[in-house]
Amino acid sequence: MKKSEKLIIESATPDEYVTNSLKSRLKPAEKARLARMWMERTGYTRDDIIRARNRNAYWRKRKMEGAAERTKRRMQEHDYSEGTAIEWTRERIEEFITLNRKDAYGRYIHRDWELAQHFGTSIPSIQYMRRKYNKIRKMLGPGAKRDKVIDYMSCSELVLQHGGPKSRKRSR
């Protein structure tokens, strides 16, 4: 067994495993074989290795290469606004709240681009509405009445930063 293979097999943690694997000049097939052996020996899983890779500086950098271009392309592909801004009426806000649910794992049921397509707007517009909705839920708590949430959703983020629609009325 080569020194680099021995280092990989004897790694104590997933972080150490990823570092030793990066240092070795082994072929991908050999690394895959060693990964299986290492997981059997230590009891760690593939998910543990993936988490460690996501924390590793080298892999983070590789993962982010081209991210700006991918984001820009995604925004252009899913811009359904046709250059016009939609008005978020009370009815649209109600529909947005209905469609903006999460599943049991905390993931949105409808993706950003699906809602953008549905409402004829852009992804940043949907992300803005989701940010605002989450902020309002945090401000008002989980038991807040739907009408009150809709009233707050009708306000800008700036008004929300100052306490919501009621504070706006008092300051006049």
Q: What is the tens place of the pLDDT at every residue in 20-60?
A: 999 998 999 999 999 999 999 999 999 999 999 999 999 88
- Domain count for the chain: 2
End position of a domain, from candidates 24, 40, 64: 64
pLDDT at position 166 over 90: no
**Beta carbons of 48 and 97 less than 8 angstroms apart:** no
pLDDT of amino acid 170:
47
* pLDDT bracket for residue 109 (50, 70, 90): very high
Are 102 and 142 contacting, i.e. CB atoms less than 8 angstroms apart?
no
How far apart are the C-alpha atoms of 60 and 100, rounded to whole Å? 30
Secondary-structure percent of the chain, ordered helix, strand, coil, rounded to 5: 65, 0, 30
Same structural domain, 98 and 124:
yes
pLDDT tops 60 at residue 167: no
Q: Which residue do the tokens 């943690």 mark?
A: 13
- Whether 82 and 161 map to the same domain: the answer is yes
Please tell me whether the overall predicted TM-score, pTM, comes out greater than 0.75 for this model: no
Go through 145-159 and write b for each residue having 16 or more CB atoms within 10 A of its CB, e for each that does not.
Answer: eeeebbbbbebeeee
- Evaluate if residue 82 carries a pLDDT over 90: no
Residues 102 and 27 in one domain: no
pLDDT, residue 171, reads 46
From its phi and psi, is residue 140 left (phi > 0), alpha (psi between -120 and 50) or beta?
A: alpha
For range 108-117, the mean pLDDT? 94
**Domain housing 159:** 70-170
How large a percentage of the chain has pLDDT more than 70? 95
pLDDT computed for residue 37 by the predictor: 94
* Phi, psi dihedral angles at 165 (to 5 degrees): -65, -35
134 and 156 in a single domain? The answer is: yes
Q: pLDDT band at residue 18, thresholds of 50, 70 and 90?
A: very high
Say how many Å lie between the first and final Cα of the chain, rounded: 79
Q: Name the pLDDT band for 150 (thresholds 50, 70, 90).
A: very high
